[in-house]
Each structure stands twice: as structure tokens, then as C-alpha cells.
Chain A
Amino acid sequence: MAHPDTTYERQHPAFYAVIFTLVFMSVGPIALMFINSFKLDVDIISGTTGLLFLPTIQNYETALCDILPYELDHLDYCSLKFGGAFINSIIITLISTVLTLIIGCMAAYALVRFRFMGRDTVSGTTLMVRMVPPAVLLVPVFGLWNNEFCIGRETWVGEIIRDTFGGRGDVCLAGTHSGIILVYIAMNLPFVIWILQSFIVQVPRQLEEAARMDGAGSFQVFFKVVLPLIKPGLAAAAIFTFRIAWNEYLLASALSDRDTKTVPILIVNNMSEFNVEWGVIMATGMLLAIPPIIFTLFASRQIITGMTAGAVKG
């Protein structure tokens, strides 16, 4: 952190020009999407690149039309179904992030603080599965979630679920929120465990031992002493897990059905149509981009810490 009375070096004007160009290049495209999301398709297509247009929130209204409380007069019917997808995205992301963090920090703690049989195997496997790409998981997960991880409709659990939610055939993981959440947790765990290990190592052992002397059990030590001390690590891990779950497209598209679609699926589906409605899609894209952008603006330090801790061996 820069100290208040640190003197900053003065730089050559050309240096500032370079910096300005870099910022423009990295933020420009996002700003362009932001601006275009307030334009009507006519304005986008006619190519008024400048800022001379009449801003409108019509695109956002169209995107959110199925959860808006009022009728829209520029639409006959809602075709985008953004609202439902938005809610699905929130449910899936929040639940999977919270669970990943809880499960992940417990596992990281066990790996750092205990010597036990199989420890090296577990930590080695965790390291290796970090490189498995979602595209590779797609094939088996698609098969398993659709055909194997099912509850037969004749069994009593299956019957209850069928009676409550309707539908026909067996009850399978595919097409449910839990199915997607399960994959996301598994996908994020290795990374979270790896990052948190490097934070837990730094917790002074004496603190834990002092707590233990005072009669605290292992779980109390973990929840009352260790967890509060690794808050920065937890924040970093939370942001990364959130980002992956919120942004993920491939597995969600293979595992969701009409009712459990997430926002990225909606965007891809609407991009592959012949007539792309640019304004509405950019508004949708903007809504999808806002949470990560907010995180970046308010927690960039945690993100950078997380990135360096994740890359450099912890």
C-alpha cells in the first residue's frame, strides 16, 4: 500500500500516453457494449459509432420482460425469458459458491494441519484434477446425469418426487438445479482447496495450540480461530468460485432443461439465430457482466492476491 507521503516518480508524457492507450484497449470493448445496450437496433445497425443517439432502456425491458411488473407496449410477447434464467443463475451460483467454500476450507485445513494416511494421495489428486477442462467433463457427466444418476419412478422416493413435480420417466439429476450445482462444486473444489492451503499455512500454530489448551475441540479451533484469520483467502476463493459458476456455459447447457437454463445459455442461443437482436443481447450481456465487474471494482486486491496465490505454489 502506498504511504500517504510517498513521493511518486514523475514520468515522461509518452509514458502516460501508453498507459492511456492500454486502459482504452482493455476497457473500450466493454464500454462499447455498455453504450450499445442503450441503443435501438436501428441506431446500432446504421452505425452511429459516436455518442449521438437517444439512449433508451427498451433493451433492458425486453430482456427482463417476463419478470417486470408492467406491460410493455413495444412487445407482443416475451420471447427471451431472461428473468427466469437470471433467477436460475443466481440460485445455482450462490448455493454452489457457499458449499464449495465450506467444503473446500475444511479439506484444505485437514491437508495442511494433519498428518494422516492417504494425505499425499489426496493432495496429489487435487492438484491433478485442477487441469481437467469442462469440455472433458461434459461427456461423462452428460451420460451419467441423464442415465445413471436417477431414481427409478417405481421407488417410493421417485414416486414422491413425480407426484410433487409432475413429469414422466425416471427422476434424473440432469435438468435439475442440484445436478448443475454438484458439477460446479466438484469443478471448483480443487482450486479452492489449493488457494486456501496457502492461506492456512500462514496461520500461526501457536494460536491454535493456545485455543486447544483452553479446551477447544478441533472443530471449535477451526471455526473460531482459523476461519476468521483466513478471511482474505476466503474472499479471494469466493470471488473465483462465483465467477466460474456465474459465467459457465458448457456444462450448464448440457445439463439444464427449459426451466433450469442459465443466462450464458440464453446469450449463446440468441447469438446463433439468423437475425441477431444486438441491442437486447448486449443488454443481456451487460446484466451478466455487472456482478463480476462490481466484484472487480470493489475487491481487486483480493482477486490479485488470489491469482498470485493460485499460480505460485502455495
Chain B
Amino acid sequence: MSYSTINRLTPYIFLAPALVIMVIALLYPLGYMVFGSFRDWDPSQSIGETSFIGLGNYISLWNDPNFHESLIVTLKFAITVVFVEMIVGVGLALLLDRNLRGMSVLRTMFILPMMIAPVVVGLIWRYMYHPSIGIFNQTLEKIGLGSVDWLGQHALLSVIIADIWQWTPFIFILSLAALQSLPRSALEAARIDGASGWQQIIYIKIPLMMPVLIVTCLLRLIDAFKVLEVILVMTEGGPGLSTEILALRISRTATEFRELGVAAAMSNYLLMLLLILTIIMLAFNKLQEMKAERQRRAVEAEKG
């Protein structure tokens, strides 16, 4: 083999292991799932032995009120969680963007909740929400306000609170990084022109942070659709279907009810939703890049 052939092959050699693994354990399974979603598929069978039922799984899901319920719960959960986390996270970043002693210690404390296992987060919150031994109800009882049925009547809200606790720091860290990389000149200019703190935030900081904020928001939204373990440990989807988000329903349909075909169809619905979000995010990124490129050219043209 000549030197140039080896040269041309080099990138493929570097890529090969990653490609092989991603094809075997990611792309092939995804294709397999799409194939299986058109079949009456049971985990004890090999997929070749199953019968083709066309869109059967998709149609039965479309008409299944429980599936609708689960979809609504998922949307409620994801949208509320992202909305609150964005506001609190960005607010905290604006508040704490100062030259502060011990800022790095503070950031370390804040990222702890998202580093520990979701299973453990669920465990901690389930304990704190416990009707009799939980810290919330004990405190409420002590003040004389009576106890609240956290994981019963208010299960969805309780689950949402736990997620906000765990993931607000994510938004906080990313917006703080964005804030600290803003061009100092723009902020200086505003300050010299006599803009108040609020004016600086509303007219300079937030508009300049917007691109990062939108990407952060979309990333978090995509992640919010993946949440599963925290809710599984806290409520197991109950009471009733009140906290059974889509991801949880998929896993139960597959492992408990052993209806792989239906679970596959459900996974495809979820994938389509996430695909749309991802495409929006990537398109937005591309747009930003093009915009930056155009500005750079304009500046160069002016200089030249």
C-alpha cells in the first residue's frame, strides 16, 4: 500500500471504532425499533416470528385515552419545569454576576444536585415528601398549618419542584458563563451613558445573552422529556396516571406489560417530538453562525 492510500484511509481508521459501536448499539437498534413498531411484538419472540400489523400500534395509541393523558402530563411537566428554571436560573445569574469572594465554591455547591444519581434525587425527595416522617409535613405541622398530601393529590407539582431543584443550576451556570463573556465595552458604554441596573439588564444584557439563552432553553426542554428515574422512584407514575410521563409509560409498556410493539410506536412518537426540537435548535445555531460570519465580513470590508 502506498503512502497516499494510507493517508487517505487515516480519518476512517480514527473513526472506525466509534462508527462500529454507534451503528451496532444505536442506529441499528433505532431502525429495529421502527421496524418493530409495525409488528405485534412480544419480548419472548424473535422479531422474525412476529406478524406484521401495519399502523396498528400507532392507531391504537392514537385512540388510547391513557396515552393522551400521559402525553399531556409530559407536556405539562416539561413546559412548567423549563419555564420556571429559565426564569429562576437567569435571574440568579444576573443577581450573582459580581466580583464575589468564594464564587467558585458557590458554583460547586450549586452543581451538586445535578451530579448525583437521579435515583438518589428521587429517594431524597420521596423521603422529604413523606406524609408523616417527611421534613415538609413535620415543619408544617409544627407551625400548625396541617399536612399536605404531597405525593398524592399534588404529585405532579411535587415532582416538578424536585426537578426544579435539580436542574435550575444548569441554567444558572450556563447563563452566568454567557453573562461573563459579554463584551465589556457594551456594558461600560451603557454605564457611562447613565443606564440604571435594570436598564442595563433589559436593554443590554438580556438581548446580548439571547442566543445562548435560546439554546439553553431548547437543550433543557429536550432533557425534560427524558426525565424518568426521579419520577419512577418518587411516585412510580401514580397516583393513577397523574405523573406517568411518556418515558415512564414506554418503559412500563415494554417491561411490565411486555408489549414491545406498542412501546416502540410510543417511542417513535416521542422521538418525532424530540427530533422537531433538535432541528429547531440546530437551525437556530446555524443561523447564529451565519449571522456572526456576516458581521465579521462586514467589519473586514470596512477595514479593507
Task: Report which A residues bind B (CB closer than 8 A).
Answer: 2, 6-9, 11, 18-19, 22-23, 25-27, 29-30, 32-33, 36, 44-45, 47, 49, 102-104, 106-107, 109-111, 113-114, 116, 119, 122, 125-144, 146-148, 182-183, 185-187, 189-190, 193, 218, 222, 243, 246-247, 249-250, 253-254, 264, 267-268, 271-272, 278, 281-282, 285, 288-289, 292-293, 295-297, 300-301, 303-304, 307-308, 311-313
12 residue pairs A–B, Cβ–Cβ below 8 Å: A27-B109, A33-B124, A103-B18, A116-B8, A129-B22, A137-B29, A137-B30, A140-B32, A186-B25, A249-B117, A282-B127, A288-B120
Q: Tell me whether A313 and B274 are in contact (CB under 8 A).
A: no
CB distance from B182 to the nearest CB of A (A): 13
Indicate whether A110 sits within 8 Å of B15 (C-beta atoms), given known contacts A32-B124, A246-B117, A301-B104: yes
Question: How would residues 92 to 124 of chain B score, 1 for a CB under 8 Å from any chain A CB and 0 otherwise?
Answer: 100110111101101111111101111110111
Indicate whether A264 sits within 8 Å of B119 (C-beta atoms), given known contacts A26-B113, A136-B250: yes
Which residues from A are CB-within-8-Å of B125? 29
- Complex Cα–Cα for A44 and B125 (A): 15
Q: B24: which of A23, A182, A304 is its contact (CB, 8 Å)?
A: A182
CB distance from A257 to the nearest CB of B (A): 14
Q: Tell me whether A296 and B108 are in contact (CB under 8 A).
A: yes
Q: Tell me whether B46 and A147 are in contact (CB under 8 A).
A: yes
- Complex Cα–Cα for A188 and B199 (A): 42
CB distance from B178 to the nearest CB of A (A): 8
Q: Tell me whether A106 and B17 are in contact (CB under 8 A).
A: yes
Question: How would residues 140 to 155 of chain B score, 1 for a CB under 8 Å from any chain A CB and 0 otherwise?
Answer: 0000000000000000
CB distance from B226 to the nearest CB of A (A): 4
Task: Report which B residues bind A (CB closer than 8 A).
Answer: 7-8, 10-12, 14-15, 17-19, 21-22, 24-30, 32-33, 36, 41, 43, 45-47, 92, 95-96, 98-101, 103-104, 106-113, 115-120, 122-128, 132-133, 135, 138-139, 165, 169-170, 173-174, 177-178, 212, 215-216, 219, 222, 225-226, 228-229, 232-233, 236, 246-248, 250-251, 254-255, 260, 263-264, 267, 270-271, 274-275, 277-278, 282, 285, 288-289
Q: Tell me whether B100 and A11 are in contact (CB under 8 A).
A: yes
Q: B15: which of A26, A107, A304, A312 is its contact (CB, 8 Å)?
A: A107
- Complex Cα–Cα for A77 and B150 (A): 35
Q: Tell me whether A264 and B124 are in contact (CB under 8 A).
A: no
- Complex Cα–Cα for A27 and B115 (A): 12
Q: Tell me whether A32 and B111 are in contact (CB under 8 A).
A: no
Q: Tell me whether B254 and A132 are in contact (CB under 8 A).
A: no
Q: Tell me whether A146 and B43 are in contact (CB under 8 A).
A: yes
Q: Tell me whether A282 and B123 are in contact (CB under 8 A).
A: yes
- Complex Cα–Cα for A27 and B108 (A): 10
**When A and B form their complex, what is the total count of cross-chain residue pairs whose Cβ atoms lie within 8 Å?**
297
- Complex Cα–Cα for A104 and B16 (A): 11
Q: Which residue of A lies closest to B245 (CB)?
A: A135
Indicate whether A143 sits within 8 Å of B14 (C-beta atoms), given known contacts A132-B26, A138-B254, A185-B21: no
Q: Tell me whether A264 and B260 are in contact (CB under 8 A).
A: no
- Complex Cα–Cα for A57 and B108 (A): 28
Which residues from B are CB-within-8-Å of A187? 25-26
- Complex Cα–Cα for A303 and B113 (A): 13
CB distance from B193 to the nearest CB of A (A): 21
Q: B32: which of A143, A146, A268 is its contact (CB, 8 Å)?
A: A143
Q: Tell me whether A247 and B264 are in contact (CB under 8 A).
A: no
- Complex Cα–Cα for A307 and B118 (A): 18
Identify the 6 closest CB pairs spanning chains A and B, nearest first.
A186-B25, A107-B18, A247-B117, A110-B14, A140-B29, A114-B11
Q: Tell me whether B229 and A250 are in contact (CB under 8 A).
A: yes
Q: Tell me whether B32 and A135 are in contact (CB under 8 A).
A: no
Query: In the complex, which of the residues B21, B109, B119 has the most CB atoms of chain A within 10 Å of its own CB atom?
Result: B119
Q: A25-B165, A107-B14, A278-B127 are in contact. List 9 more A-B contacts (CB 8 A).
A: A45-B133, A122-B15, A135-B248, A140-B29, A187-B26, A193-B18, A218-B7, A247-B119, A304-B173
CB distance from A289 to the nearest CB of B (A): 4
CB distance from B8 to the nearest CB of A (A): 8
- Complex Cα–Cα for A288 and B121 (A): 11
Which residues from A are CB-within-8-Å of B225? 133
Indicate whether A106 sits within 8 Å of B15 (C-beta atoms), given known contacts A131-B277, A296-B115: yes
Q: A303: which of B25, B45, B111 is its contact (CB, 8 Å)?
A: B111
Q: Which residue of A lies closest to B113 (CB)?
A: A26
Q: A132: which of B11, B30, B260 is its contact (CB, 8 Å)?
A: B30
Which residues from B are CB-within-8-Å of A127? 278, 282
Q: Tell me whether A26 and B112 are in contact (CB under 8 A).
A: yes
Q: Which residue of B lies closest to A281 (CB)?
A: B123
Q: Tell me whether B128 and A128 are in contact (CB under 8 A).
A: no
Q: Tell me whether B173 and A9 are in contact (CB under 8 A).
A: no
Q: Which residue of A lies closest to B266 (CB)?
A: A139
Q: Tell me whether A247 and B289 are in contact (CB under 8 A).
A: no
Query: In the complex, which of the residues A143, A253, A300 has the most CB atoms of chain B within 10 Å of its own CB atom?
Result: A143
